């Protein structure tokens, strides 16, 4: 691919190669090469289309065919090229005046500015009705969701057994076996042979699919066939086969024909491979790549582990080099003196507090004794109680005949009141 790069300074007119066609102007035009490259890149994004027309010219040069195809209802024409690699896949009796259907992809030659179409398949017009039916079926199946990516199953990373449906002694079988075994020598196959074209294709393929899908040892199924014209590949667009593939529980890989071949089986399969060789490469991993990956992962793990150990050893050495760990005895001895001083101070404080509390308790005890009635009785006083334990405070409350209990310092005595005694007059001093 041509790369156009600007090499201008600010204020200078850029070279034509540096100006994109959409940015061109009279003062800053684009180059012919840049314009042609832009057209080529745009045309390259177009998909393959099926077109119907009449061959108006047919020239063979160097094994390739250069022809023109004319519309059947107007004067519109296109140039077509059939490369030598495609010629074996098209009928050999095609000639000027034939009414054909062709699969073409737009191609633009930058050097000459020549626009044409490359043919990947071509058939006499009788195939047109069948292709129209297939497109209607394709649209119906898409609307039903059979082509949705969400329903497609993932292939196993390393299948134990690969189921293979292909023609007996076919090149497709050899390609799948050879390429798979080159990538993973221990790979195992269970091969079911079926006709890959004609009336027997669909029923035999359905039967083989049912057998492989029912085998619990089969992890993935590959349906493979070599290239061919659209007529020979019609069996792989049969609605019965397409629906059976969609209903299968085992992942299925479609490897029908070449890159440009596109039966309906490709759309409904869990994986579409462009060729049988491509299917083999995508079904099993490359043992050399996996070994290299394992070696890389082991190297990375070893490196990370070594770095972690080195870091931890350095951290440990740093901790061991600290004074507290290198020589802890002086620190312990200096702290032991502090502990002894704090212990002594604690003991002295507790002793002083204990003595002060004892003295306070003695004083409180003495005060309590002084205020106690028992102390009053010990000084010769007595307490008189009426019946019911009521203390006698007024003589009038104990008329003559009342029972009294007299409490003294040691014990109590019973008594009977003789009545209140009149107080003697207090003599006055002269």
Which DSSP string do the residues of 71-112 spell out, in sequence order?
-SSSS-EEEEEE-TTTGGGS-TT--TT-EEEEEEEEEEETTT
pLDDT range class, residue 215, cuts 50, 70, 90 = very high
pLDDT range class, residue 428, cuts 50, 70, 90 = low
Give the global pTM: 0.46
Query: Across residues 386-411, what is the average pLDDT?
Result: 82
CA distance linking residue 320 with residue 326, whole number of Å: 6
Higher pLDDT, 17 or 217: 217
Range of lowest pLDDT (47-56, 90-99, 125-134, 219-228) = 125-134
pLDDT for 138 beyond 80: yes
Query: Across residues 231-258, what is the average pLDDT?
Result: 90
Q: What is the pLDDT of residue 2?
A: 56
- Find out whether 265 and 236 touch, Cβ atoms under 8 Å: yes
Q: What is the pLDDT of residue 429?
A: 54
Most confident stretch, 16-25, 71-80, 322-331, 374-383: 71-80
pLDDT range class, residue 152, cuts 50, 70, 90 = very high
Q: What is the pLDDT of residue 395?
A: 81
- Find out whether 283 and 159 touch, Cβ atoms under 8 Å: yes
pLDDT range class, residue 365, cuts 50, 70, 90 = confident
Higher pLDDT, 406 or 324: 406
Neighbouring CB atoms inside 10 A of 282's CB total 18
- Find out whether 172 and 276 touch, Cβ atoms under 8 Å: yes
CA distance linking residue 21 with residue 23, whole number of Å: 5
Q: What is the pLDDT of residues 187-202, one digit of tens each?
A: 999 999 999 888 899 9
CA distance linking residue 58 with residue 78, whole number of Å: 13
Please name every residue paired with 223 in a beta bridge, in sequence order, or none if there are none: 165, 254
Higher pLDDT, 382 or 298: 298
Query: Across residues 176-184, what is the average pLDDT?
Result: 91
Please name every residue paired with 256 in a beta bridge, in sequence order, or none if there are none: 225
pLDDT for 307 beyond 90: yes
- Percent of the chain exceeding pLDDT 70 equals 91
Q: What is the pLDDT of residue 64?
A: 92
CA distance linking residue 13 with residue 29, whole number of Å: 10
- Find out whether 385 and 404 touch, Cβ atoms under 8 Å: yes
Short-list 78, 72, 75, CA closest to 100: 72
Q: What is the pLDDT of residue 405?
A: 85
CA distance linking residue 271 with residue 243, whole number of Å: 15
Q: What is the pLDDT of residue 8?
A: 53
Q: What is the pLDDT of residue 129?
A: 63
Q: What is the pLDDT of residue 188?
A: 93
Q: What is the pLDDT of residues 68-84, one digit of tens each?
A: 999 888 888 999 999 99
Query: Across residues 224-240, what is the average pLDDT?
Result: 82
- Torsions phi, psi of 135, nearest 5? -65, -35
Range of lowest pLDDT (42-46, 54-58, 75-79) = 42-46
pLDDT for 328 beyond 80: no
Query: Across residues 173-191, what is the average pLDDT?
Result: 91
pLDDT for 10 beyond 60: no
Q: Give the chain's largest Cα–Cα span.
A: 181
Q: What is the pLDDT of residue 353?
A: 93
Bridging pattern class, strands 220-225 and 252-256: parallel
Share the mean pLDDT of the chain. Answer: 85
CA distance linking residue 81 with residue 65, whole number of Å: 6
Q: What is the pLDDT of residue 250?
A: 95
Q: What is the pLDDT of residue 430?
A: 47
CA 395 to chain centre: 106
CA distance linking residue 418 with residue 250, whole number of Å: 127
- Percent of the chain exceeding pLDDT 90 equals 36
Q: What is the pLDDT of residue 287?
A: 85
């Amino acid at each position: 691919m041509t790369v156009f790069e600007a090499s201008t300074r600010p204020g200078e007119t850029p070279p034509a190669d540096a100006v994109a066609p959409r940015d061109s102007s009279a003062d800053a035009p684009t180059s012919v090469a840049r314009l042609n490259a832009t057209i080529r890149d745009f045309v390259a994004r177009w998909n393959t289309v099926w077109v119907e027309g009449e061959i108006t010219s047919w020239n063979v040069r160097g094994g390739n065919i250069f022809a023109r195809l004319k519309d059947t209802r107007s004067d519109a024409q296109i140039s077509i090229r059939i490369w030598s690699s495609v010629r074996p896949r098209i009928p050999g009796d095609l000639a000027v005046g034939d009414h054909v259907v062709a699969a073409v992809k737009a191609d633009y030659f930058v050097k000459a500015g020549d626009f044409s179409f490359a043919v990947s398949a071509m058939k006499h017009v009788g195939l047109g009705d069948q292709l129209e039916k297939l497109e209607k079926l394709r649209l119906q199946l898409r609307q039903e969701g059979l082509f949705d990516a969400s329903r497609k199953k993932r292939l196993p990373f390393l299948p134990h057994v690969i189921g293979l449906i292909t023609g007996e002694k076919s090149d497709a079988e050899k390609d799948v076996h050879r390429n798979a075994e080159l990538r993973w020598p221990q790979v195992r196959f269970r091969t079911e042979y079926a006709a890959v074209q004609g009336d027997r294709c669909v029923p035999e393929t359905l039967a083989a699919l049912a057998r492989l899908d029912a085998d619990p040892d089969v992890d993935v199924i590959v349906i493979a066939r070599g290239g061919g014209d659209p007529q020979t590949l019609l069996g792989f667009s049969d609605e019965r086969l397409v629906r059976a593939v969609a209903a299968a529980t085992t992942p299925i890989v479609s490897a029908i024909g070449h890159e440009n071949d596109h039966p309906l089986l490709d759309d409904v399969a869990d994986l579409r491979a462009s060729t049988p060789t491509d299917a083999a490469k995508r079904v099993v991993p490359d043992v050399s790549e996996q070994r290299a990956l394992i070696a890389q992962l082991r190297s990375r793990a070893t490196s990370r582990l070594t770095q972690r150990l080195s870091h931890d050893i350095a951290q440990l050495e740093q901790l061991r080099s600290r004074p507290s760990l290198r020589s802890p005895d002086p620190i312990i001895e200096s702290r032991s003196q502090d502990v002894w001083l704090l212990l002594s101070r604690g003991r002295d404080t507790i002793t002083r507090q204990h003595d002060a509390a004892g003295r306070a308790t003695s004083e409180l005890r003495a005060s309590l004794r002084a205020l106690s009635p028992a102390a009053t009785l010990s000084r010769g006083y007595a307490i008189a109680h009426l019946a019911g334990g009521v203390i006698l405070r007024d003589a009038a409350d104990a008329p003559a005949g009342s029972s009294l209990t007299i409490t003294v310092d040691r014990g109590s005595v019973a008594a009977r009141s003789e009545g209140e005694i009149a107080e003697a007059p207090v003599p006055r001093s002269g």
